[in-house]
Chains A and B, each alone.
Chain A
């Protein structure tokens, strides 16, 4: 059974445009279920995200709502009327773009208008308009294979929006694009939606990217797998705070992360635990099911120290946008740096301004040895993973530790890819701090002999 926490609908959300009622889907003779009983409503004015790991049935639900496949049980209602075939109110943006390779950009965009009975001139005019709006002007006669991934997906968007769909479906629309391209396109879409430049009344996005869901949605349905079901329904970040990275977004991302990395736990219970933890003075590490280590941003020590030095030279403060521009860094990468230095207490982030803390100032002023000594101290205080590793090394009679033990441990909290990244980052930082050495060929961590840590902060 799906657990559906009913929440007050988003402000301005009105009439139910589209609904799934107790929808189930199974395949094959053994009726193996892909989607367990699911009920969803999509209301006027809403942007809803279906978020979950692969195999959680979120794409299946999207296809059922679009009328591309019938549900095995239950029904889909469009404006209260049962849906019997393809849903004419819906346009879809596909993960794979789904462009017709033998048609030009213009013909691909016009495709959706063929069935509308518009005259060829009207079709052309509307397609041109959509192409302009989505930033494809000049590419009308190009074939899809001449375009980059980002441009292809723009065609996908233009084709969907040109039909003025009442509801827009997006199936992992940015996941085949590189990060920067995807983010860019996402922001443009967000603007079109926020400024009501498109007549679309509701949007449904399927994604496995937490950040993406949080950045876009009024409402987020978190799916679980085996078989697919809705684990919990969450309210999105208020629209005003949604378009910038900030505490509201970070907190929701963290909550969802917790839910998704603990698939065996009851999501409602998890959320309760989190709200209790938030009420306490300090988030405690090592709590019953809380993640043991904080997530280290993927930042090299060179960038980290360079960033603090740079901040000191520009007066100890800087606006995030200006920093990103002046350092010629992608916003993502800069935010990772800010996060890392913030984690270490070297900077403070206030309203898009990065401020060097007194400790940060001392760090910037120190010579190399002083820098390392200070880093050693604060890293041990702030970075729980590093503290854990050093403590293990200290207590080991040989002062060594198998790297595998650390990565295995990390894999309880992170995906194996992320665990690897976390490990590499902590090694990078630990080496710089002269706390440990690491031999990649033997996979052995060793305590740095010169710097036995006299006492560890507990």
Chain B
């Protein structure tokens, strides 16, 4: 739907088919949506994995090594200094990821793959 019909027609007329069709038409045309989707998916996945690192059920604690379990455990034990440190590390990772990966992809989407 996000691929303009005139470009689709041009691809048919000039016999751009198969993998070439993906590379020159479909992937570039959906690139901005792809980036947005990847950000959402990555965020959601990370969120879920952090939560699942530390599960407390009927008095049993199941945990694995990781930032999520560290933060949850620190909160449980009221170790506020560790909690603060863990949260700061998490924020730093998010910001770095944004700067290094997502913003650049967004900029690329905006500069090269905008349809208008």
Docked-complex contact B13 and A101, CB < 8 angstroms: no
Please provide the chain A residues from 86 to 124 with a CB less than 8 Å away from any CB of chain B in the complex: 86, 88, 90-92, 94, 96-98, 100-103, 111-112, 114-115
Q: Residue B14 contacts which of A63, A97, A101, A159 (CB distance < 8 angstroms)?
A: A159
Range of interface residues on A (Cβ < 8 Å): 20 to 34
**Does A277 sit at the interface, judged by CB under 8 A?**
no
User: What is the bound-complex CA distance between A100 and B6, given in angstroms?
Assistant: 10
Docked-complex contact B15 and A100, CB < 8 angstroms: no
**Does A48 sit at the interface, judged by CB under 8 A?**
no
Using a Cβ cutoff of 8 Å, how many contacts connect chains A and B? Answer: 58
Docked-complex contact B15 and A86, CB < 8 angstroms: yes
With a CB–CB cut-off of 8 A, which chain B residues contact A327?
Answer: none
List the B residue with the shortest CB-CB distance to A87. B13
With a CB–CB cut-off of 8 A, which chain B residues contact A111?
Answer: 10, 14, 16, 24
Docked-complex contact B9 and A98, CB < 8 angstroms: yes
Q: How far is the CB of B78 from chain A (nearest CB, A)?
A: 54
**Does A49 sit at the interface, judged by CB under 8 A?**
no
B56-64, B88-96, B107-115 - interface stretch: B107-115
**Does A311 sit at the interface, judged by CB under 8 A?**
no
Q: Residue B10 contacts which of A63, A92, A101, A102 (CB distance < 8 angstroms)?
A: A92
With a CB–CB cut-off of 8 A, which chain A residues contact B25?
Answer: 100
Tell which of A86, A98, A143 has the most Cβ of chain B within 10 Å: A98
Docked-complex contact B112 and A88, CB < 8 angstroms: no
Please provide the chain B residues from 26 to 75 with a CB less than 8 Å away from any CB of chain A in the complex: 28
User: What is the bound-complex CA distance between A114 and B25, given in angstroms?
Assistant: 14
Q: Residue B7 contacts which of A88, A100, A112 (CB distance < 8 angstroms)?
A: A100
Docked-complex contact B9 and A94, CB < 8 angstroms: yes
Q: How far is the CB of A202 from chain B (nearest CB, A)?
A: 16
With a CB–CB cut-off of 8 A, which chain B residues contact A100?
Answer: 7, 10, 24-25, 28
**Does A331 sit at the interface, judged by CB under 8 A?**
no
Docked-complex contact A102 and B113, CB < 8 angstroms: yes
**Does A267 sit at the interface, judged by CB under 8 A?**
no
With a CB–CB cut-off of 8 A, which chain B residues contact A92?
Answer: 9-10, 13
**Does B85 sit at the interface, judged by CB under 8 A?**
no
User: What is the bound-complex CA distance between A116 and B87, given in angstroms?
Assistant: 58
**Does B101 sit at the interface, judged by CB under 8 A?**
no
Please provide the chain A residues from 67 to 99 with a CB less than 8 Å away from any CB of chain B in the complex: 68, 86, 88, 90-92, 94, 96-98
List the B residue with the shortest CB-CB distance to A116. B15
**Does A66 sit at the interface, judged by CB under 8 A?**
yes
Q: Residue A115 contacts which of B7, B17, B114 (CB distance < 8 angstroms)?
A: B17
- What are 20 sample pairs from A and B whose C-beta atoms fall under 8 A apart? A86-B12, A86-B15, A90-B13, A91-B13, A91-B14, A92-B9, A92-B13, A94-B6, A94-B9, A96-B4, A100-B10, A101-B115, A102-B113, A103-B24, A111-B10, A112-B14, A114-B14, A115-B14, A115-B17, A143-B112
Q: Which 8 A-B pairs have the closest CB atoms?
A: A115-B15, A98-B6, A112-B14, A98-B10, A102-B28, A96-B6, A102-B112, A92-B13
Interface residues of B (CB under 8 A from A): 4, 6-7, 9-10, 12-17, 20, 24-25, 28, 112-116
